[in-house]
Structure 1
Amino acid sequence: MNVERLHRILVDIDKELKKEKIVTLLQQVRDHLQNQVNQPNQPSHQTNLVSSLEKLYNALENSAYNDYSPSWKDIISEITGEVELGEELKLKLETILSSNAITPAKALADIKIIFTDLQNFQSSINNVLTGFKTLGIEKEDLDPGECELGYTIPRDYVENKLVELKNEIAELNFILNHISEVVTGKKQEYEVKTISSSDFLLYILIGLQVANVLSKATERILNHYKQILEIKNLRNQLKEKGVPATKTKSIETHANGIMKTEIKSIAKEIIKEHYDGENGRKNELENGLIIALNKLANRIDKGFNVEIRVEPLPEPESDDEENEEVDKEYQSKVDLINSIKESSRNIEFIETGGDSILKLSEKKPS
């Protein structure tokens, strides 16, 4: 775990807890439920409980935690243990209250534990942040309008071998460069911001246009992969029951056909939207883009993970009409950032498990 990134995450959680007043709202729920347990015939306690729950649920639904990347949530899970936030906490509270409707005392006992754990967690965050400040440990920030790609390479996949890790980084560079060449007309050098080591998790700075295309393409690949995952699980179950591979080959062919068709569609749409050059080069770029997306889909099937985070731009300082061109550029960036945020919210880590099923071509057609 990278300490500067941990610092960044803790700052965000602390800000979120204070902004939404989660601990205070949970305390109010606890107190109104306590009153109801003590005086069950007093209707005002039930009314107050319903009102406080509504406020807490709204805060949890609007929590920025819900849009955190999978790796951020993994880090939070590592340091919090049983503490839950956002919609996860809302669901837990709903389950407690619905399953203990007849015995509110049991619900109260469970909610008291949740409140104490969350209160202690917030206190611990404050202590850690104070310690970071004292020790001069910086937090890992993105500049306004800056975007980073998080790319997880499973250790098992590269067998902890340096040469295999090097090869996979080269494959990632291939994927990014083919997207970049279509979108911007040229390949780029990518700056590695951080490397975490539980799995090999690379954080790489990428441009907004590349990030926008990558996030949308990944979202669509993942949506189709969810269908393929059901097929994959069925295939793996048949293997476990001793069904020969020759008998399940048609299942694999069907799964690969689904993804192959979708990736061709994605590539054609990207080319149509972003490329306006000569047709000969257009076909070459389209083929390269298909291979790049094939590589990405194959790796998602093998447990790789993609996440994208972008930092919003500050509000413009003035509305001076003389700066119309500047305003257009600013609005264009804002639109790109919003588009990235929208699609990146739908990029989730999928537990793939079992033998991989995708074997999409990673070679240029001869």
Structure 2
Amino acid sequence: MDEANLAAVTVSAAHSDGAAIRDDYLAARVPSLRPARQRLPRGRCTPIAAWLAGLGLFTKRSHEKCVPEAVFRAPNDQVALFLRHLWSAGGSVRWDPTNGQGRVYYGSTSRRLIDDVAQLLLRVGIFSWITHAPKLGGHDSWRLHIHGAKDQVRFLRHVGVHGAEAVAAQEMLRQLKGPVRNPNLDSAPKKVWAQVRNRLSAKQMMDIQLHEPTMWKHSPSRSRPHRAEARIEDRAIHELARGDAYWDTVVEITSIGDQHVFDGTVSGTHNFVANGISLHNSLEQDADVVILLHRPDAFDRDDPRGGEADFILAKHRNGPTKTVTVAHQLHLSRFANMAR
């Protein structure tokens, strides 16, 4: 057990109107801290136990752990403080001299805890990956990795680690001050190059004028579209190179069947985050009528219903809902009644 962590727990116990007694287990060569012995009224628990119970964590087992709601409501500096001490208990920071790379990860048997940590890292501008390690006869484990020098440096500077890991963190930060490495993260799909080629053709430019003879073979990082955009002056490429969206690969899409959905509105703001996804306040709950238009041939040119569209009256506060098939006349920008 890290002595610095024991000291931090002792201080925290004092802030919770409690105290900590140290036990040294010589056989196992590990110390531990526990709440002080004190007389308590019947039915009462120690202050630390009461505090954990109030957060919904007192009876949680390892695979059931999660980040308390109060942490998500905390300002970013408090979120960073929470992550700093959490990392000292289940995370690792080290420099791998063999591969010349930093290793920053956090492990747990609780997938919810890992997801919560990933969302908290996003609060402080750090992206991460999650990997799964199945285990026979026990609970599966999950590991959250922070890859790439940019995110690792941001983690070390804005979050950091507490205790003995802090020494390794400083060494890793020193190593990362070297040449900039390309971690193959935040790379756009290769099909972006088709758009660049089209613009080159329109401007009667040759590929070699971009001085990137091999770029077509790989998914582009932001620097390459940025160099291309400077020459071809394309707005879409400009937004790709300078936008704040983070490009990542969708690794799995799993259906959960039909579920109840709800219209949500958060007062005071138009956007909010739900389960890690940025959402916008719903307008449907205030609408009296919601109409949708669906054209099957817009998604499949060979659809047998070519030329038709579904006029969907999805919501009508004062009447029934219905779906009507209409003919779309795109050259006139209108839809016609199929019955006529």
What is the TM-score of this pair, normalised by structure 1?
0.24
Bigger Rg over Cα: 2
More strand by share: 2
More helix by share: 1
What is the TM-score of this pair, normalised by structure 2?
0.25
Between the two structures, name the one with larger relative contact order (CA 8 Å, sep ≥ 6): 1
